[in-house]
Amino acid sequence: TKYRKCLAFDFGASSGRLIAGVYDGEKVILEEIYRFKNEPVTINNHLHWNLELLYKHIVSGLEVASKNMVEFNSIGIDTWGVDYCLLNKEGQPIHWPFHYRDTRTEGISSKLPIQFEEFYSKTGIQFLPFNTVYQLYAEFKNSPELNRQAEHLLFMPDLFNYFLTGNKKTEYTIASTSQLLNVEGKQWDCDIIKRLGFPKRLFQEIIFPGEIYGMLDKKHMRKIGMSNSVPVISVGSHDTASAVAGIPIENEDSAYLICGSWSLLGLEIQNPIVNEKSLKESFSNEGGVLNSIRFLKNINGMFLLQQLKKHYNEMFTRELDFADIINAAKLSNKNFSINPNHALFLSPDNVMEAVDAYCISTNQGKPDNLGEWAIAIYNGLTQEFNNQLLNLESITGKKIKHIHMVGGGIQDELLCQMTANVTNKKVIAGPVESSVLGNIMIQLYALGEVSTQSEIRQIIKKSVSLKVYEPQT
Ligand code: LFR
């Protein structure tokens, strides 16, 4: 076989990276090309993504890639979910995309003319106050002129793909996070869209993972000094979809836990589960690659530890890193715990104050040092992993054998070991870069190098090294 080189952009809520995957017919070797921070900006009291900077990072990443590599075969982009950009008739962004943690959606969900039960029966998506549908409803309510001005809606990865190719399409897995896609039909739910009063023209043709979004346009080829164009491939453009595609899942009873800003706990299934139990526990049926469904639940994640590091360092003018936080947590002899999915922890101004408030209101007393704040977060996260694992078992009727933990958060060994202990299940940790790997595998699929899910998983197994955590008492 000849070598294939695929470029994967993976945008998370706190950082982004461009990684090349080199496939030799057996396995994929990853090579990091470019990494950058993703920091939201507050404009006019609203939290936005820095669109200009993110776009510059895409171009810089491609420049570095084309300088370092003789040639590459394709590009794929995945990003965090739900966020979008509205474009005007000229195809220009009307404003920088809002951050899902922006507060404009507060209290909006009860104002919609459709009850959540009905949303769930049609879309199969868990309630998260920032789902696209609520963001869009809030935005149209605040700015009725959008009914005239807004012509197209593109999710973040669609937007970047559009910049690179000139084509406006919407990729299926990212669209599924909107709560506007019909879970069975895998198409826009026109009835919901009409009843919410959104202009139908906003919603683009749905394109599936493994299809071609378009060719890299001349303008970018010239800019980065390339003479032959390459396809921009529609991958699982929701980072979580790519992450699931990049896990060496052992069998149908293996749960996964993707550890990034969010923790996503779930199972890969073939047909959506939409029933009273799944509604009650608010589990999502998000779109997966190659006809799969991601049956999962959002649990708060590394965001809490990132915020703890940031707020603690600011407040006490220190420069602690994650290792210091982990050590402090280990040394703590008090056992505080929070519910990480409590509303207090969605966008806290100061996470230590939020932990205090939670602990006081639940009669645990008040944590007052780094270790105590940290252990409250570790206990809270891992206990919630266990609660949701039990829900997952009871909804699906499956007995989960072990948990695949992937994503940046698995570099935190305390988190992995505590997860094994609290759930009393074996944890198989790795790879860290599962989103990138899943992104690259779907590019190889589109290029005709692989053709089934099981082939993909075999290649992944050969490409990664894993670490096992057995439960300890
Ligand atoms: C993870 C993720 C989750 C989504 C959240 C917000 O990075 O994409 O799947 O619920 O971010 O977009």
Render pLDDT for 418-433 as a digit per residue (tens, 0 to 9): 999 999 999 999 999 9
Render pLDDT for 200-219 as a digit per residue (tens, 0 to 9): 999 999 999 999 999 999 99
Q: Which of 127, 133, 173, 239 has the most ligand 1 atoms within 8 A of CB, as the residue to mutate?
A: 239
Does residue 1 surpass a pLDDT of 90? no
Show which residues are catalytic: 239
Range with the poorest average pLDDT among 34-38, 138-142, 251-255, 381-385: 251-255
Does residue 146 surpass a pLDDT of 90? yes
Give the integer Cα–Cα distance in Å for 390 and 317: 41
Q: What is the whole-number distance in angstroms between the Cα of residue 174 and the centre of ligand 1? A: 10
The pLDDT of residue 250: 82
Q: What angle separates helix 453-463 from helix 434-446, to the nearest 10 degrees?
A: 130
Mean of all residue pLDDT scores within the chain: 97
> Does 287 sit in the ligand 1 pocket, CB within 6 Å?
no
DSSP state of 434: H
ipTM for the complex shown: 0.98
Q: Residue of the nearest CA to atom 8 in ligand 1?
A: 80
Render pLDDT for 14-40 as a digit per residue (tens, 0 to 9): 999 999 999 999 999 999 999 999 999
Give the integer Cα–Cα distance in Å for 160 and 137: 23
Render pLDDT for 246-299 as a digit per residue (tens, 0 to 9): 999 988 899 999 999 999 999 999 999 999 999 999 999 999 999 999 999 999
Render pLDDT for 181-191 as a digit per residue (tens, 0 to 9): 999 999 999 99
Whose CA is closest to 443, among 11, 19, 17, 60? 19
Q: Which of 298, 303, 347 has the most ligand 1 atoms within 8 A of CB, as the residue to mutate?
A: 298
> Does 332 sit in the ligand 1 pocket, CB within 6 Å?
no
Share of the chain above pLDDT 90, in %: 96
Three-class DSSP labels, 239-288: HHHHHHHCCCCCCCCEEEEEECCEEEEEEEECCCCCCHHHHHCCCEEEEC
Share of the chain above pLDDT 70, in %: 100
